[in-house]
Amino acid sequence: MINLLLVFLLTAGKGPLIACTIPPITSLVEAVGGNEFEYVTVLPAGANPHTYEPSPKQLLEAGSSRLMFAAGLGIDSWAVKFKTGDRRIAELGKSLKEEGARIRNPHFWLNPQLGRRSLFVIALELSRMKPEKWDYFYERACEYSKKIDSMVIHEKSRIERLKNRRVIVYHDAWEDFAEAFGLEVIDIIAKNPALEPTFQEIKGVIEKGKENGVKAVLREKPFPGKLPETVASEIGAKAVEVDPLFSGDYIEGLRANLLKIEEALK
């Protein structure tokens, strides 16, 4: 990962710096802010946002950013450590809930409809820094929102052609994602991700997977261990590595995860 201080030095003079806690949030913010800002992601590549702790050096390396976007809802509670008198923390999950959004789990960005709604929260936050650019931010939010809708319609139609759309997930981050694209989550391996599932719980997941002919078991990059592979092997399914913290374009990140699942289900 490029040192955050280096990023700050390289981008100085190119526009205000916006810090974001995790890569998918950075992508959504950049989709709205365009060239009006420079962007930096705080979470190091490969780190687990649930257990990450910023060092004193990293706190300093947030540079000149006066605004940091966080997922909130317990995903990146360490973001509060970056709050200073000059820097505000905007928690997207909290804002969405205040607007009445139904959020079943804190990984809300994996739900494309909540990703869409986040765009307009971001537009409002950015316009507080640059009020004269409200129309620009709003138009970009609308444009990207339409792209998300178009992608979901297209990809869902592909998934719905599959005879078997049943999957088992490692933990409950993927239920809204699955629902949005026409997949069916049969069971969850680690119902409490803070605790290792018991032998009886694992046995129950395997039995349920066999009963329902599950062909894909989703494992996640941030979580170590071979449990998803073991479950998949016992069921006769494929273990598919998906990434909830995908980097790069938001739409392409969702699509990349979906295509891996689709390939396993064919």
The whole model's pTM is what?
0.90
| Percent of the chain clearing pLDDT 90 (strictly above) | 74
Domains 4-150 and 160-265 in one fold: yes
* The one-letter amino acid at 160: E
More confident residue, 172 or 143: 143
Quick one: pLDDT at residue 232?
97
- Residue ranges of the domains in the chain? 4-150, 160-265
- Beta strands 238-242 and 216-220 are parallel
Q: Each residue of 82-114: pLDDT tens digit?
A: 888 889 999 999 999 999 999 988 999 999 999
Q: 241 in helix, strand or coil?
A: strand
| 161 pLDDT higher than 90 | yes
What is the average pLDDT score of the chain?
Answer: 90
CA distance 196 to 202: 10
160-265: CATH topology: Rossmann fold (3.40.50)
| Sign of the alpha-carbon torsion through 231, 232, 233, 237 | positive
| 1 pLDDT higher than 80 | no
Task: List the beta bridge partners of residue 35.
Answer: none
Quick one: pLDDT at residue 206?
97
Question: Is 3.40.718.10 the CATH classification of the domain at 4-150?
Answer: no
DSSP 8-state class, residue 54: -
Mean pLDDT calculated for residue range 121-150: 98
The residues, ordered by sequence, that sit 6+ positions from 17 with a Cβ below 8 Å of its Cβ are 8, 11, 37, 38, 39, 40, 63, 64, 65
Quick one: pLDDT at residue 202?
95
- Beta strands 38-41 and 17-20 are parallel
Quick one: pLDDT at residue 50?
80
Q: Each residue of 34-51: pLDDT tens digit?
A: 999 999 999 887 788 888
The pLDDT-based confidence of 237 (bands split at 50, 70, 90) is very high
Q: Each residue of 169-220: pLDDT tens digit?
A: 998 899 999 999 999 999 999 888 677 889 999 999 999 999 999 999 999 8
- Beta strands 184-188 and 88-91 are unpaired
